[in-house]
Chain A
Amino acid sequence: MITFDDVVKVYPGGGTAVDHVSLELATGKTTVFVGPSGCGKTTSLRMINRMISPTSGRVLIDGKDVAGQDEALLRRGIGYVIQHAGLFPHRTVLDNVATVPVLLGKTRREAREAAMKLLERVGLAAEFAQRYPAQLSGGQQQRVGVARALAADPPIMLMDEPFSAVDPVVREGLHREFLRLQQELGKTIVMVTHDIDEAIKLGDEVVIFRQGGVVAQVGTPQELLADPADDFVAEFVGRDRGLRSLSFDTAAGLPVRPLPAELVVDDAGRPLGWKSADGVRPTGGTFTSADTLRLVADLAILSPVGIAVRVDADGVADGIAPHHDLADYLAARRS
């Protein structure tokens, strides 16, 4: 567990960056610090590995104050990923990943062998190992950055805007990869982002900072969307937070109606579309009971007839959910 105990950071002449922050970040979970620029989120992150020292208060890892520990040794035990990856341009991808194990005294050969496995783990083919960072795309560099941070198998990973320098499509892929890796590895991750959607998507817990280094609210993504503490959080979380909060529930409990005659299906029972005057109009997609309510709402809105179609694991249609049924279901759930 990482503990912030009444931490304050005041820069000489620069005002207060972090203002009496107390937090407990759970082991094995992803905690995301999010907020507008200048809210102290990055400063807070960097106090964990002593890149910045607090003016007052303590930061503890598993009950031990980081201030008492050797800076370099502390940092070797904490993975660190930053925007643009910060890779060493003069080293091959493989040697970049091997950096910390070598610092920790492993032989270059051992470190490289381990690095090779890590590259595979973050989804990079072996052929990239001997390339230099300048030969990689932004997304590939970011993967190398993650592999490098993981190389010494640190229990804690700090990630400072790790995905903000890549384009949205690549970012989407990196997000999926991140969630998969974290499920496998169960690291204690602290991530900084200015993107609330990213925070909600990746965080087990989200800490929202406001201007002046004050914590506005701490909670799970669901809690933040459902119950923002004040106007600032509500504004920051965004307008369509009601719709977005549907992402946290599956359609398993949503009642469906039997298939109507207007729904055209093929021989196997897979939906083809809705009958209409000018032929068959496509359904615009289907959902399963494992999908989120947000997808159901989306499908109901997009559907030419205002009805979402449910299918089973084989893609066979087994029920429909009209938009008014969804509305009733949500209303019933609220009360």
Chain B
Amino acid sequence: MNLSYLFDAAHWDFSTSGSIPQLLLSHIWYVFLALVIGTAIALPIGLYIGHTGRGSFIAINAGNAGRSLPTLGLLMLMVTLLGLGLLPVLIALTVLVIPPILTSAYAGLRSLDQRVVDAARGVGMRPWQVLTRVELPMALPVLMSGFRSAALQVVATATVAAAVGLGGLGRLLIDGLAVNDYSRVLAGAIVVAVLAVLLDLILALAQRWIISPGLRASR
């Protein structure tokens, strides 16, 4: 294994364009944008469907449909349609964020013990209070697992986005392959894998922190 590219200090100089820290930062930026926009769209819809039960069909099938979309095809389709740039890639990434979050928000609410929801109504909570104080906290374990898989999906797809000319860590892979520089390819693969694993770990810890200990015992 040739790790020279990864351990060359020159590639870690933040001020150089195309250096590993710069690529890492832009990678994280794409992931962040897609997650924020995707969640802002998917969460309210998922919660609405889960809370009211209206349109369950969409929520149930969104997850499956999302999983079956080929990410590379989606990216290339968007870029071919809209031209090079951040926007088409962001649209593609956002499209991939929506299904897992929508489905898990719906599934999270649906999986709740309806007696608890009933009890919340029974003690005089308004619908909004039932949603925010009872349903949402209790649905968090399921919701968070959906968010985690969305995050991983976006990290992976943002890597592929280098193939359509975007920055991010995928550059190391694509450019390395193009010039047969396997040391660079390896560096990219390692950094991207570490990023994904770390992000998942951080989300797992966050999940532990924001979910009530009372819900943990049963999981």
Asked whether any CB of A lies within 8 Å of a CB of B in the complex, the reply is no
* Chain B residues near A (Cβ < 8 Å): none
Binding site for B on A (CB under 8 A): none
